[in-house]
Structures are given as C-alpha cells and as structure tokens.
C-alpha cells in the first residue's frame, strides 16, 4: 500500500509517523518547503534572534528515513489527478498513490487594506517568511503589526527584541479578544506595554502609506503611525487550492467527514487545510485530525472527536494560557475570578454543571498547566473546589 502525503507541517508529520508506527506500507511525503519539519510556534523566537535556524528543526532528515518515511523537500505538488490516483509535481514527474493525505495547511490572510502590495509589508507563516522579515528589519527603526492576537503579539515581541520601536494594532477594543475577557485583557495589556510595545486598540487600518515602500499606517479614525515595515497578523485561511482545482468539495477548507475523508475516493485531509464545522488553526486540532486520517488510511475505522481548544502565549516573561470557553454568552455558567493587576496576575475558571469548561491563567505557570489539562479532559469540579484552586 502506497501512502502519499502532501505537506511538511505538523499534520503531515504526525500522520507519517502514525502510518510508520502501524507499519502501513510505503510512506512518501512531499513538501514545498526547503527545510525539514520545524515547529511554527518557535518562529517568533527565531525572528527575535533568540534561537538559531537549526534549533527549529524537530528531527534531522535521517530520523524520518530510519522510520521508513521518505521526505521529499522542495517538492511542490502542482496538481491532483484523483481519477488516475496520481499527483503531478512541479518538476513534471507524476507520483502514484493508493491513499493520499492533503495536509497543505494554511496561508496568511491579508485583509483588503490599501497598500498591502508595498515593499515592507510581510506576514509570518513559514521559516522563509521569518528569514525575510529579519533581514528587512535590520534596516528599519519602526514597525507596525496589524493584529493583536497571539501571533501578532509574539511577532511584535520578536521585532522589539531586534531593537525596533513596535506598535501593535488591534481592531477590537481589547488585546487577545478570543483568549481573554475585558478584565484579563487590561492586566495583560500592561504586561505587553511593559515590554516596550505600543498598543493601539479599536484600530481599523485604512491604508499602508509610502511611495512604493512602507512609510506608515493610517487608521480610519485618522490616527497615524510612522513605520518602515508592516507585519500583517490577521489570521490564516485554508490552503485548499489543489483540492478545489481537482473538484473536491470545499467549505472554507477541504471538506472532510468524521473519518477525515474527503468526497474523493482514498483522499483524506487534516490540519489547517481541512474543514469540518469549524476552522481552529491550532496544533492540537491538526495533530488529532492527522492521527484519525492516518488510522483510516491504514485501514482502521477511527472517528474524529472535536478537541477542546487551548492556547499558550510564548512571550518570555509573560505566562498566559487560555483554554475552552472563556467568555460564555449563554446562561448557566459560573465564573470565578482572582485578579492582581500590580503583580500581572489574572485567573478565571468557567464552570457549567460542575464541569470545568474554560480557564484563563495569566501569571501562574504551574496552575496554567494543571488547569489546561483539566479543561481539555472536561474535569468535574464544584464551585468550592474551583475557588480553592485559585
Ligand atoms: C508563527 C506561528 C505561530 C504559531 N503558534 C501556534 C501555537 O503556539 N499553538 C498552536 O496551536 N498553533 C500555533 N500556530 C498555528 C499552527 O502552526 C498551525 O495550526 C499548524 O502549523 C497547522 O499544521 P498543518 O500541518 O495543517 O499546516 P502547515 O503547518 O501550514 O503545513 C502545511 C505544509 O504544506 C506544504 N504545502 C502546501 N501546499 C503544498 C503543495 N502544493 N505541495 C507541497 N507542499 C505543500 C507547506 O509548504 C507546509 O509545509 C502558529 C502558526 C504560526 C505561523
């Protein structure tokens, strides 16, 4: 049985390792990138100059070879041919498969803002992006980051560490609107500003200005920020082009069923490229989906169950974890909080029917780990037990 995997990210690698563990047959992995698998969450550290390129790689190529996984770098797949059970590589060669996994990931979303085509506008998704941004930043004094989410702030910290004056702009009235409530966000903002990052809230970008090269950012309310570079961190979209061109069903991503199977025979999808009800764009989901896809490719009958999302900010000196439902809007939730803004501490647990369904932990690393596990395993907890935890 010949398994072909398209992609070199976490979904691809997880599936390849699982197929190897199951001794499922031949495993051929084709990735457009020039580098062995690296962990995207570490890119901001690389951008900041805190780790070397080699430190990003999870394993050397020989590690995969020893497991029976053939990794083909710099091997972009140009076209799928589901009728012939083949894929066409950019170099013109055709690769046959018995079972195919599409794990083509995501691409940075660039909102329709005037001036995003100017020299000095970037987005951070790949190692090549990070290398290019670092090189460009060496000639800049000021940067604007459009997007006050996790990635935007981690990238802002990276640029700050390179010595630039950095402003992070967030469309919503608070930072990390998906991970924090208003009170927690206020505590968090003080910590971010303490790192020397300027924060602009309710910031709707009108245009990126400059003659050919970036010279600044103008907001719809008239605020202006001087900058020689702009980093757009406005989320990612499924990279579903190959699948769409081949006629597979698309629904904000490559549509999959609970087996992670697409509507084409013997073609599966997993990770940021796949779509099933919701696009999380996070590693725990990509991993869980890849394990299910690999099991089914190997002939098993595995079903995907939605995982509880959790996120951890990776900024040195700020420990923030947010998991599950943190800003419930319906009735029936119990929220328990502890806040100490001076110490940079904010903790909140959210219960429903004596189950821990969500948590924010800022400034308490040990508790964060424990609580994250409890949320993802849907731990039973009474109000009194929750209060004692904080
Ligand atoms: C800077 C940054 C920080 C992040 N931090 C976190 C974090 O802390 N926690 C978290 O949970 N998530 C984080 N994420 C999101 C996380 O990285 C993604 O959810 C995850 O990478 C998705 O994995 P994937 O394998 O589906 O796709 P990707 O990692 O995007 O990999 C897709 C792969 O497919 C390849 N590919 C695409 N098209 C083709 C083609 N035609 N032919 C061959 N190869 C192709 C690409 O080159 C790439 O190697 C972060 C993302 C970024 C960019």
Residue 277 pLDDT level (bands cut at 50, 70, 90): confident
- Contact in structure between 33 and 8 (CB atoms under 8 Å): yes
Q: 40 CB under 6 A from ligand 1?
A: yes
- Contact in structure between 127 and 33 (CB atoms under 8 Å): yes
Please list, residue by residue across 204-223, b when 16 or more beta carbons sit within 10 angstroms of its beta carbon and e when fewer do.
ebbebbbeeebbbbbbeeeb
pLDDT in tens, 68-112: 999 999 999 999 999 999 999 999 999 999 999 999 999 999 999
Residue minimizing CA distance to atom 15 of ligand 1: 282
- Contact in structure between 342 and 216 (CB atoms under 8 Å): no
pLDDT in tens, 29-38: 999 999 999 9
What's the pLDDT score for residue 308? 85
pLDDT in tens, 151-181: 999 999 999 999 999 999 999 999 998 899 9
| Adjacent-strand bridge partners of 231 | 122, 145
Q: 104 CB under 6 A from ligand 1?
A: yes
Q: What are phi and psi of 15, to 5 degrees?
A: -65, -40
Q: 282 CB under 6 A from ligand 1?
A: yes
Domains, the chain, in order of start with CATH, read 2-107+237-297 (3.50.50.60), 121-232 (3.50.50.60), 317-389 (3.30.390.30)
What's the pLDDT score for residue 165? 98
40 alpha carbon – ligand 1 mean position (Å): 7
Q: 242 CB under 6 A from ligand 1?
A: yes
The overall pTM is greater than 0.85: yes
Closest to 324 in 3D by CA, of 344, 305, 307: 307
Percent of the chain with pLDDT over 90: 94
What's the pLDDT score for residue 314? 83
What's the pLDDT score for residue 151? 94
Q: Taking the C-alpha atoms of 206, 210, 214 and 217 in order, what is their torsion angle to the nearest 10 degrees?
A: -30
pLDDT in tens, 217-227: 999 999 999 99
* Helices and strands counted in the chain (H then E): 10, 25
| Torsion region of 201: left, alpha or beta (phi above 0 gives left; psi -120 to 50 gives alpha) | beta
Whether residue 289 is predicted with pLDDT greater than 90 in this model: the reply is yes
Q: What is the DSSP string of 99-129?
A: EEEE---EEE---S-BTTTSBTEE---SHHH
pLDDT in tens, 189-203: 999 999 999 999 999
Whether residue 330 is predicted with pLDDT greater than 90 in this model: the reply is no
Write the CA distances from 128 to 133, 205, 237, integer angstroms: 9, 26, 18
Residue 386 and residue 390: Cα distance in Å, rounded?
7
Residue minimizing CA distance to atom 27 of ligand 1: 105
- Contact in structure between 239 and 106 (CB atoms under 8 Å): yes
Whether residue 324 is predicted with pLDDT greater than 90 in this model: the reply is yes
pLDDT mean across residues, the chain: 96
What's the pLDDT score for residue 315? 85
Q: 151 CB under 6 A from ligand 1?
A: yes
Residue 351 and residue 143: Cα distance in Å, rounded?
41
What's the pLDDT score for residue 309? 83
The residue-averaged pLDDT of 266-277 equals 96
What's the pLDDT score for residue 115? 98
Residue minimizing CA distance to atom 50 of ligand 1: 41
What's the pLDDT score for residue 85? 98
Helix (H) or strand (E) holding 58: none
Longest Cα–Cα distance in the chain: 65
């Amino acid at each position: 049985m010949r398994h072909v995997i398209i992609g070199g990210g976490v979904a691809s690698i997880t599936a390849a390792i699982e197929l190897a563990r199951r001794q499922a047959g031949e495993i051929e992995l084709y990735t457009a990138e020039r580098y062995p698998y690296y962990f995207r969450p570490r890119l901001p550290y690389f951008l900041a100059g805190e780790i070397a390129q080699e430190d990003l790689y999870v394993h050397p190529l020989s590690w995969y070879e020893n497991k029976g996984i053939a990794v083909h770098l710099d091997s972009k797949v140009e076209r799928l041919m589901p009728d012939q059970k083949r894929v066409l590589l950019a170099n013109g060669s055709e690769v046959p498969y018995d079972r195919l996994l599409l794990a083509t990931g995501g691409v940075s979303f660039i909102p329709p803002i005037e001036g995003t085509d100017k020299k000095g506008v970037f987005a951070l998704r790949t190692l090549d992006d990070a290398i290019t941004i670092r090189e460009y930043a060496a000639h800049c004094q000021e940067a604007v980051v459009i997007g006050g989410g996790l990635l935007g702030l981690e990238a802002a910290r990276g640029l700050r560490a390179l010595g630039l004056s950095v402003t992070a702009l967030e469309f919503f009235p608070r930072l990390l609107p998906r991970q924090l409530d208003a009170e927690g966000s206020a505590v968090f903002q003080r910590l971010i500003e303490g790192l020397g990052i300027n924060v602009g809230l309710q910031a709707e970008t009108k245009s990126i200005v400059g003659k050919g090269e970036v010279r600044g950012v103008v907001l719809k309310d008239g605020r202006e920020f001087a900058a020689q570079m702009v980093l757009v961190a406005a989320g990612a979209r499924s990279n579903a082009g190959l699948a769409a061109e081949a006629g597979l069903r698309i629904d904000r991503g490559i549509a999959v069923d609970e087996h992670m199977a697409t509507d084409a025979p013997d073609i599966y999808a997993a990770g940021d490229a796949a779509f099933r009800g919701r696009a999380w764009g996070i590693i725990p989901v990509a991993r869980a989906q890849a394990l299910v896809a690999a099991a089914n490719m190997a002939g098993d009958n595995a079903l995907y169950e939605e995982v509880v999302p959790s996120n951890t900010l990776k900024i040195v000196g700020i420990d923030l974890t947010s998991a599950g439902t943190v800003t419930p809007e319906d009735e029936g939730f119990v929220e328990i909080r502890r806040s100490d803004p001076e110490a940079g501490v904010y903790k909140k647990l959210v219960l429903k029917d004596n189950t821990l369904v969500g948590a924010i932990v800022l400034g308490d690393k040990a508790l964060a780990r424990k609580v994250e596990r409890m949320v993802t395993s849907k731990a039973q907890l009474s109000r009194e037990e929750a209060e004692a935890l904080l």
